[in-house]
Structure 1
Amino acid sequence: MRVDAFDFELPGERIALRPARPRDAARMLVVAGNDMADAGVAELPKWLRPGDCLVFNDTRVIPAQLEGRRGEAKIGATLHKRIDLRRWQAFVRNAKRLRVGETIDFGAGVAAIAEDRLPDGSFILAFGGDKPVEVLLERAGTMPLPPYIAGKRATDEEDRADYQTMFAREDGAVAAPTAALHFTPRLLDALAAAGVASETLTLHVGAGTFLPVKADDTEDHVMHAEWGRIEADTAERLNAVRAAGGRVIAVGTTSLRLLESAASADGTIEPFAGDTSIFITPGYRFRAIDGLMTNFHLPRSTLFMLVSALMGLETMQAAYAHAIAGGYRFYSYGDASLLLPERSA
């Protein structure tokens, strides 16, 4: 499909620069089949059924944004995929001033060699010392806020907590699974009381999620790979949910993409450990999930393509127009949508 089919006008004031407080006070647009309803995240239990299961991503965002120098040149780096204990793939700002073999000094005793430059322009950075890179980042790094927030204000200490979900425990993401930012212990208790179960998986979200789609046609866009894991017992419980007539509702596009990557042709969710670069566009047949809770996404983005694949492009165009007119807040710190296709509404 043509990428411009997924374009829409978004006023700049609709971009949320801070999250709702408390987190579950955010608004939620419910799209069930072709019907829409304005609601709040705290009302989520009434929109689900006993026996349904929410699936969360337990990845933890690391302070993967680094500012350093190569001689007199300022070099910025955003780590986005771990290769091993010492090496990460990174997008580099001012890359024309950096050559393979040169060292970037990030301060606080943290330095890395530009080991290789990849065809997409990113670098392999090899960090010095004997400590895990995640330890070094706690000294020298900052939280990698999305560019549409970082371009409007500086990162601060509040972001270290705000840009982390309550499920975060597995270090490795450089972007938050933002739909889960809306959840609180109080909301989880209310869901459990309503008979709604929850499970977790791990997908380490990469900075590639923010890259614009530069191709004119979706068939020409290449996704960056991200590492994920679904444990065998988690897969078994999720399959049991559907066998009993419950619905598997992914919380966030990251959970959805990993579940779909792990699903067999008949919809059975298999254990999974490895990379996925799944790219979901209209025409895709969903196998593992029955619904999605997600935030509002960028025009022309792979994530808007994904929700259009789930609900239909016209339905999502209408939903986003309603959200914009109704003052919903967009993107990572913004409001939520609950998307229930007609087959599961």
Structure 2
Amino acid sequence: MMDFIRSKGVVWKTPLAAALSWELAEWAGSKHPYLAPLTVILTIQLTVDKSIQFAWQRVMGTIAGVLFTASIAPYVGLNGWSIGLLLLVGALIVTWLRLDHAIMVQVALSILLVLFFQSKMPSYSLDRIRDTVIGAVVALLIHMMIFPPDSVKKAQKKMIHFADHLSNRFINTALWVQEGCSPSEAQTLQTQLQTLFQELHQTTTEIDKAEQSLRYNLLGQKKRYILKKLTRQMHQLRSGYANLADMIRVLVKWSESGYFGNEDQRVWADHLNTLAELIEEWKMELDDPAAYSFTSAASSPQIKAPTHMVNYQYPIALYMNAEQVIQDFQNADFPNKIL
């Protein structure tokens, strides 16, 4: 039950906040208390910062729309043309002030509803402003103070899955090298690499969501510490992906050159498997830092260039990168290119 309450706040927070806001609106004298829970339903989002953003936009748009319409409605009457005219003027003002589109929507809704209800229910304008504020405040207080949304665990799970897939890509690359670097399999590796890149982007997005969810969490100091560590570890995963992509590119070129001998293939298949094992160990530490002690620096694997190649490894790496830049840009397709 507690796990459900913590993880499914959006399920029970909205009904709770809606009920409280209705009662508060009635207590404040509103004749249209449904406007408060309506604001609650619209305000509570998956993250607190999104909720705050929408609450601010709704309150500001409602106040602006109500004041604008209440001051002009007695002079224009109620018909299709007056509605269209006021909506146009309101949209032009919002555009001129360079406000968000969501505010324009709230202004438009307030103009339409106030223009329609003003003559029939004179209290509607005041009720709309007051109840909107009540609903927004109640929604934010409940969302922020009672089990605020936490995306840190979800982000951590995404990172663990990505680390697992990254390790598998190293193993697949080792197998490809061991079996002779088939050109057809090389294309499969590139496709897998693109899929892995998409997953990397999704994992990075999840980290960003976790950061946003903690931005207004007043009691999330421990979670912020965990997220800070996850952010550093995310840099390691990005670096691991970038290095794998570079290694595959170099291995493809090496195999195409005809100088990638059997002994070289054996050595690099072993190296790639060693790197896969290292990532697997790193993933275990990410999964449960308290229960697992990561390999110490003294016992970590060593993969270094042979002594006779030490003086050549850096210029060769630079030449490879320079060649890649040339390939990336020499065939750039520019529309309207002047020759």
TM-score (norm 2): 0.21
Which structure's residues are more often helix, by fraction? Answer: 2
* Larger relative contact order (Cα-Cα within 8 Å, sequence gap ≥ 6): 1
TM-score (norm 1): 0.20
Which structure's residues are more often strand, by fraction? Answer: 1
